[in-house]
């Protein structure tokens, strides 16, 4: 059975929290917030990466939720700063997921120029790849439609890496992908199975792949 259980969190967590997820929930992967939606680096991800590895969880990813409302150049600068900070800290991670969902922070909105939004996402993806990172995209079909106008909008994004999706389903399978799919992906890589649930004493999202 290749299915695995994991979790994604924003703030830095204690070693006991990680041990709880590993021992009580058999968690064997994580996705940490590396870049906050305000457009700033999340320093807590460095501590989380090191803590996870210290207890034997080595499959660790990061996600970047961009402040879109800044200039198109910010697609490059936000990715560059994230990867630079991770490199400076000698942080070890597998993949960076570009988090595509509405951003309600002032000046950070995606807006309704759908073609420009697609260019922005692809610029983030290509910048990360050019800096040696593996990438993927996180979204939900309703968020994708809002940002790119249609469910199958910005389909070229699928050529850069896999998709991690949210549908509201808690089932640990991909059976709901066909009715919730978006972009150009034929099949998903990972699914967020719960959003804002409480486990091990913290507010957390759970994931399956």
Per the CB < 8 A criterion, the answer to whether 157 and 184 are in contact is yes
* Per-residue pLDDT tens over the stretch 113-151: 999 999 999 999 999 999 999 999 999 999 999 999 999
* Per-residue pLDDT tens over the stretch 152-185: 999 999 999 999 999 999 999 999 999 999 999 9
199 token code pair: 């486990």
* Per-residue pLDDT tens over the stretch 26-42: 999 999 999 999 999 99
Q: What is the pTM of this model?
A: 0.96
Largest CA distance in the chain: 46
Rounded Cα distance, 57 and 29, in Å: 6
* Per-residue pLDDT tens over the stretch 75-104: 999 999 999 999 999 999 999 999 999 999
Residue 2 has pLDDT above 50, yes or no: no
pLDDT-derived band at 69 (thresholds 50, 70, 90) equals confident
Q: Which residues contact 16 (CB under 8 A, 6 or more apart)?
A: none
Instruction: State residue 141's pLDDT score.
Output: 98
Per the CB < 8 A criterion, the answer to whether 64 and 100 are in contact is no
């Amino acid at each position: 059975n290749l299915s695995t259980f994991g979790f994604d969190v924003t703030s830095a967590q204690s070693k006991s929290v990680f041990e709880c997820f590993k021992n009580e929930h058999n968690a064997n992967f994580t996705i940490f917030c590396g870049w906050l939606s305000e457009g700033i680096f999340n320093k807590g991800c460095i501590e989380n990466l090191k803590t996870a590895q210290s207890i034997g969880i080595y499959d660790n990813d990061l996600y970047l939720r961009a402040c879109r409302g800044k200039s198109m150049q910010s697609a490059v600068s936000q990715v560059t700063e994230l990867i630079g900070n991770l490199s400076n800290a000698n942080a070890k991670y597998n993949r960076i997921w570009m988090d595509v969902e509405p951003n309600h922070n002032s000046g950070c909105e995606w807006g309704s120029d759908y073609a420009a939004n697609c260019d922005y996402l692809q610029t983030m993806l290509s910048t990360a790849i050019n800096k040696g990172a593996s990438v993927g995209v996180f979204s939900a079909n309703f968020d994708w439609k809002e940002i790119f106008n249609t469910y199958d909008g910005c389909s070229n994004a699928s050529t850069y890496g896999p998709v991690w999706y949210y549908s509201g389903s808690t089932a640990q399978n991909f059976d709901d992908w066909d009715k919730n799919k978006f972009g150009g992906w034929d099949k998903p890589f990972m699914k967020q199975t719960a959003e804002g649930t409480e486990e091990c004493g913290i507010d957390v999202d759970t994931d399956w792949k």
